[in-house]
Chains A and B, each alone.
Chain A
Amino acid sequence: MAETTFLEAIRQGMWEEMERDDRVFLLGEDIGAYGGAFKVTQGFLERFGDARVIDTPISEAAIVGAAAGAAHMGMRPVAEMQFIDFISCAYDMLTNYVATARYRAGLSTPIVVRGPCGGYVRGGPFHSQNPEAAFFHTPGLKIVYPATVRDAKGLIKAAIRDDDPVIFLEHKWLYRRIKDTLPTGDEEVPPLGVARVAREGQDLSIVTYGATVWKSLEAAAQLDQADGISVEVVDLRTLLPLDEDAIVATVKKTNKLLIVHEDTRTGGLAGEITARVNERAFEWLDGPIMRVTAHDVPLPYAPTLEDFVLPQTEDIVTAARWLAAY
Chain B
Amino acid sequence: MWRRFALINRLPAANFHPPLNLVMTAHPASTRAAAIPAGLSSEQLLEMYGFLRLTRTLEERLAALYRQTKVIGGLFRSLGQEGESVASAYALRRGPQPDVLSPLIRNLGAMLVMGAKPIEILRQYMAKETGPTRGREMNVHFNDLTLGYLGQISHLGDMVPVMAGITLTFKMRGEPRVGLVYVGDGATSTGAFHEGLNFAAVQRCPLVMIGEYNGYAYSTPPARQFAVRDLAEKARGYGIPAVTVDGNDVLAVYEATKLAVDRARVGKGVQFIEVKTYRRTGHAEHDDQSYVPPGEMEHWAASNDPVDRFVRALRDNDWVPARALDEVDTRVRDEVDRATDACLDDPLPAGESALGTVFAQPPSAEPLWYRAVTGPSPSHGAPNG
Whether, in the assembled complex, B85 has its beta carbon less than 8 Å from a beta carbon of chain A, the answer is no
Whether, in the assembled complex, B137 has its beta carbon less than 8 Å from a beta carbon of chain A, the answer is yes
A105-B166 contact given A62-B198, A92-B192, CB 8 Å threshold: no
- B251 contact set on A, CB distance < 8 A: none
- B384 contact set on A, CB distance < 8 A: 279-280
Whether, in the assembled complex, B372 has its beta carbon less than 8 Å from a beta carbon of chain A, the answer is no
Whether, in the assembled complex, B24 has its beta carbon less than 8 Å from a beta carbon of chain A, the answer is no
- A244 contact set on B, CB distance < 8 A: 385
Q: 10 A-B residue contacts at CB 8 Å?
A: A65-B158, A65-B165, A66-B196, A69-B161, A73-B165, A96-B154, A100-B153, A103-B357, A105-B133, A163-B361
Q: Nearest residue in A to B157 (C-beta to C-beta)?
A: A61
- B170 contact set on A, CB distance < 8 A: 73
Contact A93 B158 (CB under 8 A): yes
- B163 contact set on A, CB distance < 8 A: 69
Whether, in the assembled complex, A164 has its beta carbon less than 8 Å from a beta carbon of chain B, the answer is yes
- A68 contact set on B, CB distance < 8 A: 161-162, 165
Q: Nearest residue in B to A89 (C-beta to C-beta)?
A: B191
Contact B192 A105 (CB under 8 A): no
Contact A65 B192 (CB under 8 A): yes
Contact A66 B164 (CB under 8 A): yes
**B165, B167, B365 — which one has the most chain A CB atoms within 10 A of its CB?**
B165
Q: Nearest residue in A to B197 (C-beta to C-beta)?
A: A62
Q: How far, in whole Å, are A161 and B272 apart by their CA atoms in the complex?
A: 36
Whether, in the assembled complex, A186 has its beta carbon less than 8 Å from a beta carbon of chain B, the answer is no
A96-B155 contact given A65-B192, A69-B166, A241-B362, CB 8 Å threshold: yes
- A73 contact set on B, CB distance < 8 A: 145, 165-166, 169-170
Whether, in the assembled complex, B314 has its beta carbon less than 8 Å from a beta carbon of chain A, the answer is no
- Interface 1/0 per residue, B168-194 and A, CB below 8 Å: 111010000000000000000001100
- B150 contact set on A, CB distance < 8 A: 72, 107
**Cβ contact of B203, chosen from A25, A54, A77, A280, cutoff 8 A:** A54
Q: How far, in whole Å, are A63 and B160 apart by their CA atoms in the complex?
A: 11
Contact A65 B161 (CB under 8 A): yes
Contact B165 A139 (CB under 8 A): no
Whether, in the assembled complex, B302 has its beta carbon less than 8 Å from a beta carbon of chain A, the answer is no
A104-B137 contact given A57-B199, A93-B161, CB 8 Å threshold: yes
Given A51-B172, A66-B199, A108-B360, 5 other A-B residues pairs in contact with their CB atoms under 8 A = A25-B172, A62-B198, A70-B172, A106-B357, A280-B383
**Cβ contact of A67, chosen from B165, B359, B385, cutoff 8 A:** B165
**Least distance between B209 CB and chain A CB atoms (Å):** 14
A70-B161 contact given A61-B195, A96-B155, A164-B361, CB 8 Å threshold: no
- Interface 1/0 per residue, A107-134 and B, CB below 8 Å: 1100000000000000000000000000
Contact A107 B161 (CB under 8 A): no
